[in-house]
Structure 1
Amino acid sequence: MWQELHRLAYRYLVSLGLTREDAEDLAQETMVAACLHLDGVQPGKLQAWVITVARHKFIDWLRRAGRGVSLLYLPDAEPEEAAGCPEAKALQQERRQEIMAALNRLEPTERALLVLKYNLGLKGEEIAKLLKMKPNTVKVKLYRARQRFKAEYNRILEGRR
C-alpha cells in the first residue's frame, strides 16, 4: 500500500513538471506526512489526501525556490522510451514541450483535471472527491478541458508549420 501511495505522489509531482530527483524528495516528504497524520484521514480517501498533501508540498517547494506556480517548469529528465536514439529523444522532448505549452494555455482547474485524469489515471469519482466537485460536474469540465486542450495543441502545431 505504501509503495503504491508513494508511486502515486511521485507520478503526480513529475506530471507537475518536477525533475525526478525533486519529485522523489517531495514524494518522500508526502509519505512522511502520511505516516504522521494517517489517523486523521477518512477511510477510502487516502489517495485523494496523499495527492492533496503532494500538491501542498509542491507549492511550498516552489515558494522556497522563488518560483511561481506554473507548469512551465519543465523537467530535465530524459524520456525513458527514447533511451537509445537521439532523434527519438529530441522528437519526444519537442512533443512534451508542445503538450506543456498547450496545457499552460488552459485554466488551472482544466490543467488539474487533465493531469489527474490522464497522468495519474484517477477516475471521475476520485477526482470529484479530491476537487470537491460533483461527479457530473467533473465529467462536463473534463470534456470542456479536453476540447480546449485539443484546440490549443492544434494551434501550436499549426504555428510550427
Structure 2
Amino acid sequence: MNNLDDLKSLNTELNIVYRYLRKLKISHEDAEDIVQETAYKFLQYYDSIRTPKIRSWLIRVAINYHHDQYRKNNRVMLDLKEDQVKTLLKDLPEEILLSNERLSDIEYILSKLKPTYRELLLLKYIWDLKYDEISEILDMKVNTVKTSLFRARKQFAKLYREANR
C-alpha cells in the first residue's frame, strides 16, 4: 500500500463499509469507530490478506468488530421504517403492521435474534441482496446462507407469535 491510488481505493471501500454499517442502523459515531478499527486492521495485516475481494474482507472485519462490541455492551438500536418491516413480514396480515407498537415489537424481536440471524434478515430483506452476495459478505457457502436464512425467518416468526399472544 504505497501509492496514492491504493489509498484512494481503500478510502472508497471504507466509505462503502461505513454506509453499510449505517444501513444496519449503527450510530454515526459507532460506525466511524468501527471503520477506523477496520482500516487499522487492514493496514496492520495488508501483507497477509489473501483474498482478492477486499470489500468483503473489510465488511467481515467491520461486522465482527461490531458483534464483539455488541457482546461487550449488550445493546443494539434498530430503527426500522414501516416499509422495511412489511418486507420482513410479507407473509403476515397487513393489520399487524399498522400500529407503531408493532414496529417496536418487531425491532425488539429482531434484537432478540442471534446477531447472525438478524444480519441475514437485514441483508436479504432490507438490502435486497442475493444469496451469493450475502455469502460473499458473510464468508459462508450459499447453501449455508439459505439454510440459516430459513432458520432466521422461522425463529423470527416464532418469537413474533409468542410476543403477540
Letter in 2 for 1:38: Y
1:73 to 52, 63, 76: 76
TM-fit CA distance, 1:148: 3.2
Distance change in 2, residues 1:104/1:54 (3 Å): same
Q: Is the 8 Å Cα contact of residues 117 and 149 (structure 2) preserved in structure 1?
A: yes
Letter in 2 for 1:22: D
Deviations 1:113-146 (A, max 9, x none): 2233344554322433454532122113213322
Q: Is the 8 Å Cα contact of residues 114 and 145 (structure 1) preserved in structure 2?
A: yes
Deviations 1:25-47 (A, max 9, x none): 22233233334433433344322
TM-score (norm 1): 0.60
Secondary structure (helix, strand or coil) at the match of 1:42 reads coil
TM-score (norm 2): 0.59
Between the two structures, name the one with larger relative contact order (CA 8 Å, sep ≥ 6). Answer: 1
Which residue in 1 is equivalent to 2:12?
Answer: 3
**Matched positions, count:** 141
Using the aligned pairs only, state the percent identity: 35
TM-fit CA distance, 1:112: 2.9
Secondary structure (helix, strand or coil) at the match of 1:109 reads helix
Which residue in 1 is equivalent to 2:90?
Answer: none
Task: Kindly report the root-mean-square deviation, in angstroms, between the aligned alpha carbons of the 2 structures.
Answer: 3.7
Letter in 1 for 2:28: R
Q: Is the 8 Å Cα contact of residues 17 and 62 (structure 2) preserved in structure 1?
A: no
> Where in structure 1 do 4 or more consecutive aligned residues deviate above 6 Å?
none
Distance change in 2, residues 1:149/1:44 (3 Å): farther
Deviations 1:83-103 (A, max 9, x none): xxxxxxxx9986653332121
Secondary structure (helix, strand or coil) at the match of 1:18 reads coil
